Structure 1
Amino acid sequence: MSFKTACLGALAFTIVGGAALAGALDEPKMMAPFFTDASMKTMKPDADMKKAWAAMAKADQDKMMKECNDAAMSKPHAQFCEKLKALGGSK
Protein backbone atom coordinates (compact mmCIF):
# COMPACT_ATOMS: atom_id res chain seq x y z
CA MET A 1 0.00 0.00 0.00
CA SER A 2 1.39 3.37 -0.91
CA PHE A 3 1.70 6.33 1.39
CA LYS A 4 -0.79 8.30 -0.72
CA THR A 5 -3.42 5.54 -0.46
CA ALA A 6 -2.93 5.32 3.31
CA CYS A 7 -3.36 9.07 3.70
CA LEU A 8 -6.51 9.14 1.58
CA GLY A 9 -7.94 6.23 3.60
CA ALA A 10 -7.19 8.02 6.87
CA LEU A 11 -8.81 11.21 5.57
CA ALA A 12 -11.94 9.34 4.49
CA PHE A 13 -12.17 7.62 7.87
CA THR A 14 -11.83 10.94 9.68
CA ILE A 15 -14.56 12.57 7.62
CA VAL A 16 -16.99 9.67 8.06
CA GLY A 17 -16.12 9.25 11.74
CA GLY A 18 -16.54 12.94 12.45
CA ALA A 19 -19.98 12.98 10.87
CA ALA A 20 -21.02 9.99 12.95
CA LEU A 21 -20.03 11.74 16.19
CA ALA A 22 -22.18 14.78 15.52
CA GLY A 23 -25.66 14.10 16.79
CA ALA A 24 -29.04 15.77 16.74
CA LEU A 25 -28.14 17.88 19.78
CA ASP A 26 -25.18 19.28 17.87
CA GLU A 27 -27.14 20.25 14.76
CA PRO A 28 -28.05 23.94 14.75
CA LYS A 29 -31.14 23.38 12.57
CA MET A 30 -32.50 20.90 15.13
CA MET A 31 -31.72 23.06 18.16
CA ALA A 32 -32.54 26.55 16.83
CA PRO A 33 -36.33 26.33 17.43
CA PHE A 34 -35.69 25.95 21.17
CA PHE A 35 -33.50 29.05 21.61
CA THR A 36 -34.11 32.78 21.40
CA ASP A 37 -30.71 33.72 19.98
CA ALA A 38 -28.40 32.57 17.19
CA SER A 39 -25.67 31.67 19.70
CA MET A 40 -28.15 29.26 21.33
CA LYS A 41 -27.40 30.42 24.85
CA THR A 42 -30.91 31.45 25.94
CA MET A 43 -33.70 28.88 25.85
CA LYS A 44 -37.22 29.92 24.96
CA PRO A 45 -39.96 29.89 27.61
CA ASP A 46 -41.54 26.51 28.41
CA ALA A 47 -44.66 27.13 26.32
CA ASP A 48 -42.59 27.99 23.23
CA MET A 49 -40.31 25.01 23.79
CA LYS A 50 -43.31 22.70 24.05
CA LYS A 51 -44.68 24.10 20.75
CA ALA A 52 -41.32 23.61 19.03
CA TRP A 53 -41.16 20.04 20.35
CA ALA A 54 -44.67 19.27 19.11
CA ALA A 55 -43.82 20.67 15.67
CA MET A 56 -40.84 18.33 15.24
CA ALA A 57 -41.03 15.09 13.30
CA LYS A 58 -41.32 12.00 15.51
CA ALA A 59 -38.04 10.63 14.13
CA ASP A 60 -36.23 13.84 15.13
CA GLN A 61 -37.84 13.76 18.58
CA ASP A 62 -36.65 10.17 19.00
CA LYS A 63 -33.09 11.09 17.99
CA MET A 64 -33.00 13.96 20.47
CA MET A 65 -34.42 11.91 23.33
CA LYS A 66 -32.02 9.05 22.62
CA GLU A 67 -29.12 11.48 22.93
CA CYS A 68 -30.62 13.13 26.02
CA ASN A 69 -30.87 9.70 27.66
CA ASP A 70 -27.20 8.96 26.88
CA ALA A 71 -25.04 10.44 29.67
CA ALA A 72 -22.02 11.08 27.45
CA MET A 73 -23.96 12.64 24.57
CA SER A 74 -26.17 14.81 26.77
CA LYS A 75 -23.48 16.21 29.06
CA PRO A 76 -22.83 19.36 26.98
CA HIS A 77 -26.61 19.82 26.66
CA ALA A 78 -27.64 18.86 30.21
CA GLN A 79 -29.78 21.94 30.87
CA PHE A 80 -31.60 21.55 27.55
CA CYS A 81 -32.21 17.83 28.11
CA GLU A 82 -33.53 18.43 31.63
CA LYS A 83 -35.96 21.01 30.28
CA LEU A 84 -37.03 18.72 27.44
CA LYS A 85 -37.71 15.83 29.82
CA ALA A 86 -39.61 18.12 32.21
CA LEU A 87 -41.82 19.27 29.34
CA GLY A 88 -42.84 15.72 28.61
CA GLY A 89 -40.33 14.97 25.88
CA SER A 90 -39.56 11.56 27.35
CA LYS A 91 -43.00 10.13 26.57
Structure 2
Amino acid sequence: MNFKNICLGALALAMVSGTAFAGALDEPDNMAPFFTDASMKTMKPKAEFKAAWDAMAKDKQGAMMKECQDAAMSKPHAEFCANLQALGGAN
Protein backbone atom coordinates (compact mmCIF):
# COMPACT_ATOMS: atom_id res chain seq x y z
CA MET A 1 0.00 0.00 0.00
CA ASN A 2 2.80 2.42 0.88
CA PHE A 3 4.59 1.74 -2.41
CA LYS A 4 1.39 2.49 -4.32
CA ASN A 5 1.00 5.85 -2.54
CA ILE A 6 4.61 6.77 -3.31
CA CYS A 7 4.14 5.96 -6.99
CA LEU A 8 0.91 7.95 -7.20
CA GLY A 9 2.58 10.89 -5.45
CA ALA A 10 5.52 10.80 -7.85
CA LEU A 11 3.18 10.67 -10.83
CA ALA A 12 1.17 13.62 -9.54
CA LEU A 13 4.34 15.63 -8.92
CA ALA A 14 5.63 14.88 -12.41
CA MET A 15 2.36 16.01 -13.95
CA VAL A 16 2.24 19.25 -11.97
CA SER A 17 5.89 20.16 -12.49
CA GLY A 18 5.69 19.34 -16.20
CA THR A 19 3.10 22.02 -16.77
CA ALA A 20 5.05 24.46 -14.63
CA PHE A 21 8.06 24.19 -16.94
CA ALA A 22 6.09 25.22 -20.01
CA GLY A 23 6.14 28.99 -19.90
CA ALA A 24 5.17 31.96 -22.01
CA LEU A 25 8.29 31.64 -24.15
CA ASP A 26 7.40 28.03 -24.98
CA GLU A 27 3.90 28.85 -26.23
CA PRO A 28 3.84 28.96 -30.05
CA ASP A 29 0.85 31.34 -29.99
CA ASN A 30 2.88 33.84 -27.95
CA MET A 31 6.03 33.57 -30.04
CA ALA A 32 4.61 33.35 -33.60
CA PRO A 33 4.01 37.12 -34.02
CA PHE A 34 7.75 37.74 -33.62
CA PHE A 35 8.88 35.42 -36.42
CA THR A 36 8.60 35.61 -40.20
CA ASP A 37 8.21 31.87 -40.77
CA ALA A 38 6.09 29.04 -39.39
CA SER A 39 9.19 27.18 -38.16
CA MET A 40 10.01 30.23 -35.98
CA LYS A 41 13.65 30.37 -37.08
CA THR A 42 13.78 33.90 -38.55
CA MET A 43 12.96 36.91 -36.38
CA LYS A 44 11.06 39.85 -37.77
CA PRO A 45 12.90 43.17 -38.21
CA LYS A 46 13.06 45.42 -35.16
CA ALA A 47 10.16 47.66 -36.21
CA GLU A 48 7.85 44.68 -36.77
CA PHE A 49 9.13 43.03 -33.58
CA LYS A 50 8.26 46.17 -31.61
CA ALA A 51 4.82 46.37 -33.24
CA ALA A 52 4.12 42.75 -32.28
CA TRP A 53 5.27 43.45 -28.73
CA ASP A 54 3.10 46.57 -28.46
CA ALA A 55 0.07 44.62 -29.69
CA MET A 56 0.51 41.90 -27.07
CA ALA A 57 -1.56 41.85 -23.87
CA LYS A 58 0.19 43.29 -20.81
CA ASP A 59 -0.10 40.05 -18.83
CA LYS A 60 1.65 38.11 -21.60
CA GLN A 61 4.31 40.82 -21.84
CA GLY A 62 4.94 40.53 -18.12
CA ALA A 63 5.21 36.75 -18.24
CA MET A 64 7.62 36.90 -21.18
CA MET A 65 9.77 39.56 -19.52
CA LYS A 66 9.91 37.54 -16.31
CA GLU A 67 11.09 34.47 -18.20
CA CYS A 68 13.67 36.49 -20.15
CA GLN A 69 15.13 37.70 -16.85
CA ASP A 70 15.56 34.09 -15.66
CA ALA A 71 18.82 32.73 -17.11
CA ALA A 72 17.64 29.12 -17.24
CA MET A 73 14.31 29.92 -18.87
CA SER A 74 15.72 32.40 -21.38
CA LYS A 75 18.67 30.31 -22.59
CA PRO A 76 16.76 28.55 -25.41
CA HIS A 77 15.28 31.91 -26.42
CA ALA A 78 18.43 34.03 -26.18
CA GLU A 79 17.92 35.91 -29.47
CA PHE A 80 14.30 36.73 -28.64
CA CYS A 81 15.21 37.90 -25.13
CA ALA A 82 18.07 40.03 -26.48
CA ASN A 83 15.63 41.77 -28.83
CA LEU A 84 13.17 42.23 -25.98
CA GLN A 85 15.87 43.71 -23.74
CA ALA A 86 16.85 46.08 -26.56
CA LEU A 87 13.27 47.39 -26.53
CA GLY A 88 13.64 48.14 -22.87
CA GLY A 89 11.23 45.38 -21.93
CA ALA A 90 7.78 46.78 -21.56
CA ASN A 91 6.19 49.81 -23.17
The one-letter code sitting in structure 2 at the alignment partner of 1:39 is S
Q: Who is 1:48 aligned against?
A: 48
Shift in Å, 1:50: 0.7
Q: Who is 2:30 aligned against?
A: 30
Structure 1 SS opposite 2:41:
coil
* TM-score, normalised relative to structure 2: 0.87
Among all aligned residue pairs of Structure 1 and Structure 2, give the percentage whose two residues are the same amino acid.
Answer: 70
Post-superposition Cα deviations, 1:58-86, rounded to whole Å, max 9, x if no partner, equal 11101100111111111111111011111
Q: Over aligned residue pairs, what C-alpha RMSD do you find?
A: 1.5
The one-letter code sitting in structure 2 at the alignment partner of 1:21 is F
Question: How many residues end up aligned between the 2 structures?
Answer: 91
Q: Who is 1:6 aligned against?
A: 6
Separation of aligned partners in 2, 1:28 and 1:51: 18
Instruction: Give unmatched runs, 5+ long, in structure 1.
Output: none
- Contact between 1:34 and 1:49, CA under 8 Å: does it hold in 2? yes
Post-superposition Cα deviations, 1:18-61, rounded to whole Å, max 9, x if no partner, equal 10011111111111110111211111111111111011111110
The one-letter code sitting in structure 2 at the alignment partner of 1:78 is A
Separation of aligned partners in 2, 1:29 and 1:10: 31
- Contact between 1:53 and 1:89, CA under 8 Å: does it hold in 2? no
Separation of aligned partners in 2, 1:25 and 1:4: 36
Shift in Å, 1:7: 2.8
